[in-house]
Amino acid sequence: YTADTATKRVLVVNNTVQDLNTIAGVNIQWDIILRQDSDYFGFTAGTDTIEILETGAYDVAMSVPMDYAGGGNQINNVGIALLINGVTDVDSYISATVNKDRQQTATLAGVQHDFTAGDLVQVEGYSLNGATQAVTVVGSVWFQITKVNA
């Protein structure tokens, strides 16, 4: 297959700090639309949900840079996962360990998913070890879905 990079995609960015300090999970809000083909994706800036409008295969990619936001030297294990219709997709799970000495990025590149028209897609971040001090980096978190040409 070949992904069409000119059209058939949505690319969104988070432009706020998201606190990933909960085991229950936090849906990442998408504030900026860099690209959106409205024939394939339903999305409104400032929300956390992208609707798939056409059944088929899609490439999914995301990058979630995180900073340490607390005192001490706590190790912060953070998980990031794709939610499809509210259910965690284990094939898209990524994680990172954040501490006070460095920024860390969790990255998912080019994982293919078969979506059905009407599927609702979200990205969720959560703590893997209780209360953490990890937050997203403003303007650096991005999420892209691209329709694959068969």
Q: What is the C-alpha R_g of the chain?
A: 15
- Residues near 5 by beta carbon (within 8 Å), at least 6 away in sequence: 146
Query: Above pLDDT 90, what percent of the chain?
Result: 47
pLDDT at 104 over 50: yes
Residue type, 83: L
pLDDT at 123 over 70: yes
pTM value is: 0.87
- Contact assessment for residue 103 and residue 64, using Cβ atoms and an 8 Å cutoff: no
Task: State the residue for tokens 């501490």.
Answer: 99
Q: What is the Cα–Cα distance from 47 to 31, expressed in whole angstroms?
A: 7
Residue 89 burial by Cβ neighbours in a 10 Å radius (0-12, 13-18, 19+): middle
